[in-house]
């Protein structure tokens, strides 16, 4: 009986759950329907009947209809594409046409509007076949057409989807955007100059108006003349300044300074004198931002270079290995700092330019979606450049070479004159310049003659006759070597016989020089002095060839009785011939 009595309770619970589900479904259905549009009682009741040429079903159709109507100067019909609900009925009739005209001017001059980029769907849902956009397929009831700056503030022009009960939803310019039209018109409306342009020149011709095709070349010519004047003025200033870092800096900033002045004057003219159509204005503003950023960055880099030049001249002087290695290390660190500043400046300028022209908004999603592909392409295409950049930083921090070091690279004496991002500049002893890629340089063995000290042993060799007096020659070498200022550590001067053969001996003289180049000069000077001493005082020390003219030893007088014999007639026989070598004590060396 207890079991049977519980069924009314279960029946009540089922009815409650079912009723709650039905109510929830109804509420959810109402919320979903309201999220697709804004429900209103009336729309622009003060404007009268809607003309047939007004199309408002999709965002693309609404904006295209507005542009076509305003180009035909039918502003009364174009006003039906604005939501004037914040105005009274009388104000709608009075101000609707004027607001439509002002918005048309804003579209022409504010930003280049591409109607094809707007959604062609009634619900404005995003279509994304890749499935990467999380909002794909979700209906929208308001979308942004464009965002414009006026007085330092951002104003959005947005479309909203509205439905009057019993009618189809339509897309109109939202009331918040309509209220900002007067402010934007003050910023982007026609300039004072346009008031004097005849109406026949204001008709469209292609993407620009007729008067703009005439005004833009004249505009470019004017700012070009201004830039040329600034270039000449800065050049004249550089010539008038005293020679030094100031004149060098002024001479190197002529071009960036001219471009900066051009960009500022152009911006001022566009703001206060003349305003072109959106396509021309947008192009000008993008170029002006890029030029201004490039000019400022270039001047900053020129300033760094000038400071480095002044420090180099004051602290280091000439770039060679005669300077202490601490000064050469400082100069190398300064070059590394320069490259870091260049890298930071380029990144900062690039980010600024891209941020100002708002490329991140349109390209951000695409870049993120294809980041792996871009990384592979950049890695392959820029492998050599990136390798050189990384290698240059490695050289600057590890310092196997320093600015001013003397290196032996591929058989040539070179001074390291500069370490840059992608190459190293080497100054050869004959003032030629070798431009070597950094990765190529570090992949080849090289000899750094200045890595520890600039001092270097030099060796000069003389080949003399066996009869040369070595002691006398040694004394002369010591005397001549001590006369050379670049020869240091005189206790390390050495002179020895290092080799000999049957007719000559090799004498090697060693000396220590303060630096390799001075050591080379000192070696040449000492060699010349030794050769002059031998030539003037002991010419018999020069090596000479020896021939045999007789098989008898004329030194012992054994040949006198046989000189007339035909068998022993004078005949030149090489000293090293087998016959000569087989008859011992029967040879007589003689001068050739």
**Residue-wise pLDDT tens for the chain (592 aa)?**
344 445 554 555 555 545 444 444 333 333 345 678 898 888 888 888 888 889 999 999 999 999 889 888 899 999 999 999 888 888 888 899 999 988 988 887 776 677 878 888 888 888 776 667 677 778 888 888 888 888 778 888 999 999 988 888 999 999 999 999 999 888 887 776 776 777 677 676 766 777 778 888 888 898 889 989 999 998 888 888 887 778 888 888 888 899 899 988 888 887 777 777 766 777 777 788 888 888 888 888 888 778 777 766 665 555 555 556 666 666 777 777 777 777 777 777 777 766 665 544 444 444 444 444 555 555 555 556 666 666 776 776 677 777 778 888 888 888 888 777 778 888 887 888 888 888 888 888 888 877 666 677 788 899 999 889 999 999 999 999 998 888 888 888 899 999 988 889 999 999 988 877 788 889 999 999 999 999 999 988 988 776 656 656 554 544 444 444 444 444 444 444 444 444 444 343 333 3
Helix or strand holding residue 170 (H, E): strand 170-173
- Does residue 72 contact residue 22 with C-beta atoms inside 8 Å? no
Q: Which long-range contacts (CB under 8 A, 24 or more apart) does 256-259 make?
A: 256/294, 256/295, 256/296, 256/298, 256/299, 256/302, 257/230, 257/231, 257/295, 257/299, 258/227, 258/228, 258/230, 258/231, 258/234, 259/227, 259/291, 259/292, 259/294, 259/295
First to last CA, the chain: 152
What are the structure tokens assigned to 274, written together? 């003349």
What is 456-539's CATH topology? Alpha-Beta Plaits (3.30.70)
CATH numeric code, 384-452: 2.30.30.60
What are the structure tokens assigned to 587, written together? 């040879």
- Tokens 């004037």 sit at which residue? 84
Taken in order 459, 463, 466, 467, is the CA torsion positive or negative? Answer: negative
| Cβ atoms within 10 Å of 63's Cβ, excluding its own | 24
* Whole-number Å distance between alpha carbons of 109 and 130: 35
- Does residue 210 contact residue 199 with C-beta atoms inside 8 Å? no
Please choose, from the candidates 338, 352, 356, the residue with its C-alpha nearest in 3D space to the C-alpha of residue 300.
338
* Whole-number Å distance between alpha carbons of 115 and 375: 33
What are the structure tokens assigned to 526, written together? 């000492």
Q: Which long-range contacts (CB under 8 A, 24 or more apart) does 583-586 make?
A: 583/551, 585/553, 586/551, 586/552, 586/553
Runs of H (alpha helix) within 273-324: 278-311
pTM, rounded to two decimals? 0.49
Predicted pLDDT at 515: 77
């Amino acid at each position: 009986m207890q079991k049977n009595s519980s069924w009314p309770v279960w029946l009540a619970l089922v009815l409650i759950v079912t009723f709650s589900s039905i109510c929830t479904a109804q509420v959810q259905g109402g919320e979903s329907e309201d999220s697709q549009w804004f429900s209103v009682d009336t729309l622009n009741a003060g404007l009268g009947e809607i003309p047939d040429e007004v199309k408002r079903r999709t965002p693309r159709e609404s904006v295209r209809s507005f542009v076509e109507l305003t180009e035909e100067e039918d502003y009364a019909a174009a006003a039906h594409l604005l939501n004037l609900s914040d105005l009274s009925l009388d104000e709608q009739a009075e101000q609707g046409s004027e607001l439509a005209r002002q918005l048309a001017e804003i579209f022409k001059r504010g930003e280049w509007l591409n109607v094809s980029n707007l959604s062609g769907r009634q619900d404005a849902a995003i279509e994304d076949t890749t499935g990467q956009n999380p909002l794909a397929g979700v209906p929208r009831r308001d979308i942004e057409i464009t965002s414009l700056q006026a007085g330092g503030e951002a104003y959005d022009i947005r479309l909203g989807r509205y439905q009057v009960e019993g009618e189809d939803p339509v897309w109109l310019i939202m009331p918040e955007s309509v209220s900002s039209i007067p402010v934007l018109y003050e910023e982007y409306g026609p300039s004072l100059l346009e008031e004097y342009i005849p109406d026949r020149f204001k008709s469209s011709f292609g993407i620009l108006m007729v008067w703009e095709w005439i005004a833009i070349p004249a505009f470019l010519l004017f700012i070009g003349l201004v830039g040329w004047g600034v270039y000449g003025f800065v050049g004249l200033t550089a010539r008038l300044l005293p020679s030094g870092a100031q004149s060098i800096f002024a001479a190197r900033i002529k071009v960036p300074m001219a471009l900066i002045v051009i960009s500022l004057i152009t911006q001022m003219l566009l703001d206060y004198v003349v305003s072109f159509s959106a396509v021309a204005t947008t192009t000008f503003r993008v170029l002006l931002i890029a030029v201004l950023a490039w000019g400022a960055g270039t001047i900053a880099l020129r300033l760094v270079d000038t400071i480095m030049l002044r420090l180099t001249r004051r602290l280091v002087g000439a770039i060679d290995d005669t300077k202490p290695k601490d000064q050469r290390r400082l100069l190398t660190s300064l070059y590394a700092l320069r490259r870091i500043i260049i890298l930071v400046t380029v990144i900062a300028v690039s980010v600024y330019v891209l941020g100002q022209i708002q490329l991140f908004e349109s390209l951000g999603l695409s870049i993120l979606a294809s980041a792996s592909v871009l990384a592979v392409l950049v890695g392959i295409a820029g492998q050599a450049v990136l390798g050189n950049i990384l290698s240059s930083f490695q050289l600057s921090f590890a310092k196997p070479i320093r600015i001013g070091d003397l290196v032996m690279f591929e058989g040539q004496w070179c001074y390291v004159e500069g370490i840059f991002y992608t190459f190293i500049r080497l100054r050869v002893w004959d003032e030629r310049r070798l431009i070597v890629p950094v990765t190529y340089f570090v992949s080849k063995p090289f000899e750094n003659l200045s890595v520890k000290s600039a001092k270097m042993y030099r060796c000069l060799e003389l080949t003399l006759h066996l009869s040369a007096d070595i002691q006398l020659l040694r004394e002369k070498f010591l005397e001549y070597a001590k006369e050379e200022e670049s020869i240091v550590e005189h206790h390390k001067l050495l002179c020895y016989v290092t080799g000999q053969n049957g007719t000559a001996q090799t004498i090697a003289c060693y000396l220590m020089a303060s630096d390799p180049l001075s050591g080379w000069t000192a070696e040449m000077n000492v060699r010349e002095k030794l050769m002059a001493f031998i030539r003037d005082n002991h010419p018999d020390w020069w090596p000479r060839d020896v021939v045999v003219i007789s098989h008898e030893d004329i030194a012992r007088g054994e040949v006198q009785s046989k000189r007339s014999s035909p068998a022993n007639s004078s005949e030149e026989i090489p000293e090293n011939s087998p016959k000569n070598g087989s008859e011992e004590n029967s040879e007589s060396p003689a001068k050739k």
